[in-house]
Structure 1
């Protein structure tokens, strides 16, 4: 019996997806072969960033009923699992009480991420229990800090922080979210804090807000400026309010916030100072999805052929060539929903009225100026209120929510346009800096409740705006505080804050990642940053099947990367499978494991490799 060593580095959802696909093929192992699967992750299997130990006020931003780790069947969805193990909804959250008290969890619930962590561990246990005796799994509860290629055998050794060495024939990198090394701005802000904290003991700078426990550094009664309006900002707000003992009473526009007295004052700002639009009530069911008529896969292929003939390159200019189709798609959905009737795509006219409606969705600040912060605050609260009205209508009743929700449903077309250098380098940069944040803001926002909470917190005086569009953050040595300055038409407005929190997720750039593993992989030439010509969007360079491309430009034999580390050559890698829908999450795991299986078969047919000596795991 020969043992083949397979190592999965990182065991969040993506690593679990790899393990699931190995399990599905485990009964097809060549005769006389067994797999030793090494899971390298300090946390619980499957959970990754979704720890079951995180606070319950941190919510998923996708309906639990739409999330599953069993997209092909064979196991329950997130909602089904929560119901089966006895979770019920109470005013203060979700509790495991069986049938006693509360209300049953339904298809429109956004569940806590701590429950998602429990569900992911359940899926992991379910997968492990399905493995035949020919597959042995060892969980190394440590971080990988180095990987070395062993020549001339073509195998690898994975080294962990506690001294283990794991010889590996095949490797899967599923390391998940990353943290960057400090930027020049980070260093400037950190130096400001260290130099002036003696005059203001509340002075603090947090370049990263996870885990949210670190927000305990922000003193009660201090003023904190939170940079960002997206999902991460909602986590920060929730932890500084509900997490300190505050509570909400009532629902919808009747919601009130009851302070606990330990909150800081919270000032929100970003480059545009626009809130993330709330998710509309789902009227599409679990698997319903809009099918595009204009920005289709075939349309993207036609654009490529046109670009090849016109420019000698198949790369597309996203704004000039794809955005007109995207806008037309949104206009078509908007008009069809407004009239509540089917319009033949061939007969649809993208009228001036529909163009204006799309413009208002895409750029609500166009043509607007504000005399002062009070004027912008009035615009902001009216904007959030109107958006919530659209959200309450639902994603098949509200023309606005139908048009923006369609963007979620046509991600396959966006990937066809963008991935693996599908755009020109300049266009790729514009896509990442303008269109990705824009689409995230209008289509991938928080549950409605979060924006009702935002309004309630503003009414309670706990949350306010730090400024308006174009504001900037400036450390002020004179006051030993951070200032947020906005130039309105009547003159500048300045708000002061003791603490500054950057509420955003770091993009993965190998050369600025803080992980020792990434640094060693770069130094050994086993990975290289993905580049699209002169533009470096982030991520590790890979082949379409997920094989890692080394510094020399050659795909490594037996090494694949999936998930967030390949956000760059791929687009929108950070989501879980949806029940009843084709899933990129599943496709990528399947492609990588299929590739491994083919190499495993070739390996067994190669007599010279079959006789290699394999080492066991060394334990110091």
Structure 2
């Protein structure tokens, strides 16, 4: 008789519960899990980030038809759920009147996904209860104590959950500690210059009520967090967007502040291409494949490759393939594009540039070269005589990007190329995690160089968000600062922002909002549970990342996500999944599975639960052969 505890009921925790239901459906006679504790301190069944109580103006970044929490079953796995609905299918069948307006495939509010998660949670719990007892606890686990071969979980309210054999830490996004060096330095600077400071967090949980109408606000960062904060300060305060021809116009409510925002690039995160890919779409890869990567390892004689020398050329060749095929079709030459695609895929050496004969034969020089660095830093080397000149250039850039995005992620050359990164992300993940590339290469080439580029260029908002930003700029509500924005203070007086590349523009601000949501290192996570586990040595920060100070995640094993303790041993019965493991793993922010596809999101939960149940000695639980995520 065994007990399992899952701490956290955001998407990662729910994915573990679903796999437990599937696993327990095949349990051998006489072998049982006695009880499953399901614990969350915030919104049980959805978690903090997807709380259904948040503002409706905060949207998902994935189309509702592509979002699911149900894993794709492999041969031999039992079908234990009567309805395996995607988010959109659930919306189409729900009886909740207020949700019927979301009947078309769209980017729905996050609160709607939160409702879907709670429905999914109820479905999973109901199924689990046919196999075992389920105890749902709304409380914060603050400490875990070893008790012989099991664990006791201590909660904030003083309760103790005893005799837990296996613990899954699915802790999700956490806030940085209030006393962290970076937070304290910025807060002190702002306080000394009479400026309010709002620290980084999910936009839904930021205290923006303290921002007064007409107040000058600076938002650091021009990523998705910027769009969220801006939405809350405009639409969230009663502002309305209206269509006027091909443009949007913004009708202010009068409750908006004056918003300034900036980043190193000075470029708001570009839009994703209009989706043209059906459910279950699989990218046909010619260069970035498991076979090519393994061949490179054999040729080099090294297991740990270099990202820049060994992997990136394969990715660049894959992007160039999509780019030039779409560009040739757009130029009116579908038959020419097909000929190029055949020649390029069969004859290209990805570790060299496209052959001069190929460039000449298809006149590829007429198309701008595909450079991620140039796309991410479009204002590099430029100086502007005033803010108006910069804003004119910026608006032209946003309008151009909007046009490119509307062409689609198959037909549009630029967005088709960038969407390759999204399509191969699971293979990229397995190619760089857990020492598959040299550690120095992982840090300097992948984390510090490549990751910021693709975060800017491939993770953008839907097209209409860019159109809304243009409307806010034209309405005088938003001003974007030039590249390399600086925040300076005159102690006892005020704070102002400026760009060294835009002359004569230094607006004063009254509130500073940190709009970039960091992934805190283990030591900087606010949760008391993490601090106590670190102090006891039950978990540790990944030692290599801790040494170089880039925010090491919780150290885990590569084959089953079991926690590694201070001594470097596997901590029996303790597992961790998702964002707390960032850096040993990569891109753990994913919050759902992908409909009609095997994704790393669901595979992670499957691998963890397989080992957890084996460790609990459920001997007949089937071991499924791993499936290549790109089908190659």
Tell me if the contact between 1:246 and 1:257 (Cα under 8 Å) persists in the aligned partners.
Answer: yes
The residue that corresponds to 1:92 in the other structure is none
The residue that corresponds to 1:60 in the other structure is 60
Matched, 1:233 2:226: yes
The residue that corresponds to 1:614 in the other structure is none
The residue that corresponds to 2:498 in the other structure is 485
Displacement after TM superposition at 1:492 (Å): 5.7
Matched, 1:528 2:540: yes
Q: Deviations over 1:477-503 (max 9, x none)?
A: 2532x22121127x4642221111011
Tell me if the contact between 1:547 and 1:561 (Cα under 8 Å) persists in the aligned partners.
Answer: yes
Following the alignment from structure 2 to structure 1, what is the Cα–Cα distance between the partners of residues 328 and 236? Answer: 44
Q: Deviations over 1:357-393 (max 9, x none)?
A: 3354354344544444333222211111111101111
1:43-442 aligned at under 5 Å gives the runs: 43-48=42-47, 49-72=49-72, 74-86=83-95, 95-96=98-99, 98=100, 105-107=103-105, 109-150=106-147, 153-167=148-162, 168-181=164-177, 182-197=179-194, 203-210=195-202, 211-212=204-205, 214-250=207-243, 253-307=246-300, 309=301, 313-340=302-329, 341-342=337-338, 343-344=341-342, 345-348=345-348, 349=354, 351=359, 353=365, 356-359=369-372, 360-430=374-444, 431-442=446-457
Tell me if the contact between 1:511 and 1:519 (Cα under 8 Å) persists in the aligned partners.
Answer: yes
Q: How many residues align?
A: 577
Does the residue aligned with 1:8 lie in a helix, a strand or coil?
A: strand
Following the alignment from structure 2 to structure 1, what is the Cα–Cα distance between the partners of residues 240 and 416? Answer: 32
Displacement after TM superposition at 1:559 (Å): 1.0
Q: Deviations over 1:254-285 (max 9, x none)?
A: 21110111110000101111121112111111
The residue that corresponds to 1:583 in the other structure is 599
Change (3 A) 1:563 1:68: same
Following the alignment from structure 2 to structure 1, what is the Cα–Cα distance between the partners of residues 381 and 151? Answer: 58
Q: Which residue among 470, 482, 498 is the counterpart of 2:510?
A: 498
Following the alignment from structure 1 to structure 2, what is the Cα–Cα distance between the partners of residues 252 and 368? Answer: 33
Displacement after TM superposition at 1:185 (Å): 3.7
Tell me if the contact between 2:305 and 2:437 (Cα under 8 Å) persists in the aligned partners.
Answer: yes
Following the alignment from structure 2 to structure 1, what is the Cα–Cα distance between the partners of residues 43 and 526? Answer: 22
Displacement after TM superposition at 1:355 (Å): 7.4
Following the alignment from structure 1 to structure 2, what is the Cα–Cα distance between the partners of residues 212 and 251? Answer: 33
Displacement after TM superposition at 1:87 (Å): 6.6
Q: Which residue among 613, 616, 621 is the counterpart of 1:600?
A: 616
Q: Deviations over 1:114-151 (max 9, x none)?
A: 0000000000111112235441111110111001222x
Tell me if the contact between 2:272 and 2:463 (Cα under 8 Å) persists in the aligned partners.
Answer: yes
Following the alignment from structure 2 to structure 1, what is the Cα–Cα distance between the partners of residues 565 and 133? Answer: 30
Q: Deviations over 1:562-591 (max 9, x none)?
A: 111111111111221010111111111111
Q: Which residue among 518, 530, 534 is the counterpart of 1:518?
A: 530
Following the alignment from structure 1 to structure 2, what is the Cα–Cα distance between the partners of residues 389 and 347? Answer: 33
Tell me if the contact between 1:149 and 1:155 (Cα under 8 Å) persists in the aligned partners.
Answer: yes
Following the alignment from structure 1 to structure 2, what is the Cα–Cα distance between the partners of residues 392 and 599? Answer: 51
Following the alignment from structure 1 to structure 2, what is the Cα–Cα distance between the partners of residues 253 and 304? Answer: 51
Change (3 A) 1:251 1:563: farther
Following the alignment from structure 1 to structure 2, what is the Cα–Cα distance between the partners of residues 314 and 296? Answer: 16
Give the unaligned 5+ runs of structure 2.
74-82, 330-336, 349-353, 621-632
Following the alignment from structure 1 to structure 2, what is the Cα–Cα distance between the partners of residues 287 and 362? Answer: 30
Give the TM-score normalised by structure 1: 0.88
Following the alignment from structure 2 to structure 1, what is the Cα–Cα distance between the partners of residues 233 and 386? Answer: 28
Following the alignment from structure 2 to structure 1, what is the Cα–Cα distance between the partners of residues 457 and 193? Answer: 39
Following the alignment from structure 2 to structure 1, what is the Cα–Cα distance between the partners of residues 244 and 21? Answer: 45
- Provide the aligned C-alpha RMSD in A: 2.3
Mean alpha-carbon deviation: is it higher for 257-266 or for 524-533? 524-533
The residue that corresponds to 1:616 in the other structure is none
The residue that corresponds to 2:461 in the other structure is 446
Displacement after TM superposition at 1:443 (Å): 0.9
Following the alignment from structure 1 to structure 2, what is the Cα–Cα distance between the partners of residues 584 and 10? Answer: 19
Change (3 A) 1:598 1:252: farther
Change (3 A) 1:476 1:425: farther
Change (3 A) 1:475 1:188: farther
Change (3 A) 1:4 1:603: farther
Mean alpha-carbon deviation: is it higher for 185-194 or for 333-342? 185-194
Does the residue aligned with 2:563 lie in a helix, a strand or coil?
A: strand
Displacement after TM superposition at 1:204 (Å): 0.8
The residue that corresponds to 2:4 in the other structure is 6
Following the alignment from structure 2 to structure 1, what is the Cα–Cα distance between the partners of residues 551 and 346? Answer: 37
Tell me if the contact between 2:269 and 2:460 (Cα under 8 Å) persists in the aligned partners.
Answer: yes
Displacement after TM superposition at 1:246 (Å): 0.9
Following the alignment from structure 1 to structure 2, what is the Cα–Cα distance between the partners of residues 333 and 365? Answer: 26
Mean alpha-carbon deviation: is it higher for 182-191 or for 450-459? 182-191
Mean alpha-carbon deviation: is it higher for 325-334 or for 365-374? 365-374
The residue that corresponds to 2:577 in the other structure is 562
Mean alpha-carbon deviation: is it higher for 362-371 or for 315-324? 362-371
Tell me if the contact between 1:507 and 1:538 (Cα under 8 Å) persists in the aligned partners.
Answer: no
Displacement after TM superposition at 1:421 (Å): 2.2
Tell me if the contact between 1:483 and 1:494 (Cα under 8 Å) persists in the aligned partners.
Answer: yes
Following the alignment from structure 1 to structure 2, what is the Cα–Cα distance between the partners of residues 473 and 304? Answer: 46
Following the alignment from structure 1 to structure 2, what is the Cα–Cα distance between the partners of residues 77 and 404? Answer: 26
Q: Deviations over 1:307-355 (max 9, x none)?
A: 4x3xxx5322212332222222111110011123331202353657467
Q: Deviations over 1:516-559 (max 9, x none)?
A: 11100100101111144754552111112110001100111111
Following the alignment from structure 1 to structure 2, what is the Cα–Cα distance between the partners of residues 507 and 137? Answer: 32
Does the residue aligned with 1:324 lie in a helix, a strand or coil?
A: helix
